[in-house]
Chains A and B, each alone.
Chain A
Amino acid sequence: MADLTAFTSADHPVRKWRKVKDKIIESILFLAALSSVFVTIGIIYILVSESLPFFQHVSFKEFVTEKEWTPMFSEAKFGILPLVVGTFMATLIALTVAIPLGTITAAYLSEYVKPNVREMLKPILEMLAAVPSVVYGYFALLFVTPILQKFLPELGGFSVLSAGIVMGIMIIPYISSLSEDAMRSVPTHLREASAALGSSKFQTTFRVVFPSAFSGISSAYILGISRALGETMVVAIAAGMQPNLSLNPLEPASTITAYIVQVSLGDLPHGSIGFQSIYVAGLTLLIMTLIFNVLGMWIKVRFQEKE
């Protein structure tokens, strides 16, 4: 026990040791925080430094305007557009599935279901997120595609549509779980205020709870978008790995991530242009994800200001 009868002087060993202890703890925390910053900087450094030689062979103009991406062909073409468009298409289809279903699921779990049923349903839903994405890939290829072919006979074996839908199912739990937390943290007194004005439960949920929770829900959507942009296996397996500048979801395509695994699986010599193209593709994806996150952050701040 410290002696509490007198105040210590500034040079008292107890005081000195206290100061040193504080400094040590502060340094440890600082280093921990710094390490993640270093990793990020390291990743960016590698991506950029490996990408620079690529642009000595290929002009930036060709990179953004060329309509074909065929680094493996003898007459190689390096237009990133097919991969960017494929990535966007797959993400868009995934979000068309995941945002409505994820939001409705969240609203149901947060507002409608009794607590004991909710505790039962949530682990089942979270299992969707625990399934390895390779499994989802084959689920798309062997289960969803054949079903889609019943309705769309012109659909081939590989398509962005099938990959996108399954990717959407895969990210439902990410969206629903965060959205549900946001909705549940809306105070009860707002629900009561709404009910007291004669609202139905549905009106209360979508006119009061949803907008009040929107800043949290938008974080869930941003996470969903990031997951979809970065998802690899489902598209690699089910979308056909054929870079294809087309807005038709029934056609096969490739995405940036799918291209990266495709090339990484082969044995390209280090320093070859094909090898460098992986880094360029990765850098492009990083920039795309960054733009989305900044956009999302901006939307979120706009909404928080209004509250």
Chain B
Amino acid sequence: MEQIYKAPPECQTKFTFGSGRDFLRAKVSDLSFRYNPEDRRVLNKVSLPVFDKKITALIGPSGCGKTTLLRCFNRMHDLYNATSYEGDIVLYPEGKNILSSEIDPMEVRMRIGMVFQKPNPFPKTIYENVAYGLKVRGIKKKSFIDEKIEKSLVQAGLWSEVKDRLQAQATALSGGQQQRLCIARALATDPQILLLDEPTSALDPISTAHIEELIVEIKDDVTIVIVTHNLHQAARCADYTSFMYMGDLIEYGPSEQIFTKPQDKRTENYITGRFG
């Protein structure tokens, strides 16, 4: 019962693209997506690697499909009818295409956590929020849950602020604290990949800085894919960055390269603020 889907310490598959030093955690190939069969494709044959224990940022102008791409990773779109995927997202080391119809979306979400744009804690206590993911996995042992809660709240940099009031309502926390609670809630389930959709866009600069720091810290434990509007944030935190434009993935590479020597004119225009 106590088993949690743990990320293995090392991923076995070596990736041949890019720097060659990093291990591959997931690989997106020719991914296309539609919200509705009649609508145009919101993603057009997007391909990119996601490296283990690294931060991959998705940037691009509003409406280019960043959120849509991110929500493919945990099959969030399956909650709604009429959506359709083409292409693969292969998760390593299992080497399984998690978009395949044979895979249960619930099992994907058990392995891949998500933090949303707007903090969305449950109207429950702080304790119950972090324990939620463990409880839906059938874990009942209190000592195990307590330990996990402390560890993930420490990781999310919230422990010192809430350790004396774990039974307080989560909705009474400030926006920044709520978002860190949401990060702790996702971390408690030991996700193999953590998806973050503009996690700081609704927060003040101090909370934003706080969350950026903690994202860089937790990447030692978990692979991160982050959507961000804030180019400085991507440049500061991300190891790899991909630039999207109107549903296409225009350019992917180490962040340094994307921000200093972009290969594509559109990337250059975007990062220099000429559009978007």
Contact = CB atoms under 8 A, between A and B. Distances in A.
* Interaction A to B: yes
Interface of A: 114, 187, 189-200, 203, 207-208, 211-212, 306-307
B27 to A, nearest CB: 22
Interface string B182-196: 100110010000000
Given A197-B136, A199-B136, 7 more contacts: A189-B116, A189-B120, A194-B122, A197-B113, A197-B185, A198-B110, A200-B136
Interface of B: 74, 76, 79, 81, 106-107, 109-110, 113-114, 116, 118, 120-124, 132-133, 135-137, 169, 171, 182, 185-186, 189
A196 B113 contact: yes
Contacts of A203: 136
B123 A211 contact: yes
Given A307-B123, A307-B169, A307-B171, A196 B136 contact: no
The 10 nearest A-B residue pairs measured at CB: A198-B110, A197-B133, A196-B114, A189-B120, A199-B136, A193-B120, A198-B109, A307-B123, A203-B136, A212-B123
29 contacts: A114-B81, A189-B118, A189-B120, A190-B120, A192-B79, A192-B116, A193-B182, A193-B185, A194-B132, A195-B79, A196-B109, A196-B113, A196-B114, A196-B116, A197-B113, A197-B133, A197-B189, A198-B107, A198-B137, A199-B136, A200-B106, A203-B136, A207-B132, A207-B135, A207-B136, A208-B122, A211-B123, A212-B122, A306-B169
A252 B132 CA distance: 48
Given A212-B123, A307-B123, A307-B169, A196 B74 contact: yes
B120 A195 contact: no
Contact of A193 (B81, B106, B116, B137): B116
B189 A198 contact: yes
Nearest to B125: A306
Most-contacted residue by chain B among A189, A196, A207 (CB, 10 A): A196
Most-contacted residue by chain A among B76, B107, B123, B186 (CB, 10 A): B123
A196 B106 CA distance: 8
Most-contacted residue by chain B among A197, A200, A208 (CB, 10 A): A197
Contacts of B113: 196-197
Given A190-B122, A193-B120, A212-B123, A198 B133 contact: yes
Contacts of B110: 198
A197 B186 contact: yes
Contacts of B109: 195-198
A191 to B, nearest CB: 8
Contacts of B189: 197-198
A189 B133 CA distance: 16
Nearest to A306: B169
Nearest to A307: B123
Most-contacted residue by chain B among A191, A195, A207 (CB, 10 A): A195
Nearest to B117: A189
A63 to B, nearest CB: 46
A196 B107 CA distance: 10
Contacts of B185: 193, 197
A198 B104 CA distance: 11
A179 B117 CA distance: 29
A191 B182 CA distance: 14
A303 B175 CA distance: 22
Contacts of A200: 106, 136
Contact of B76 (A187, A192, A198, A207): A192
A196 B132 contact: no
A195 B113 CA distance: 10
A206 to B, nearest CB: 11
Contacts of B76: 192, 195-196
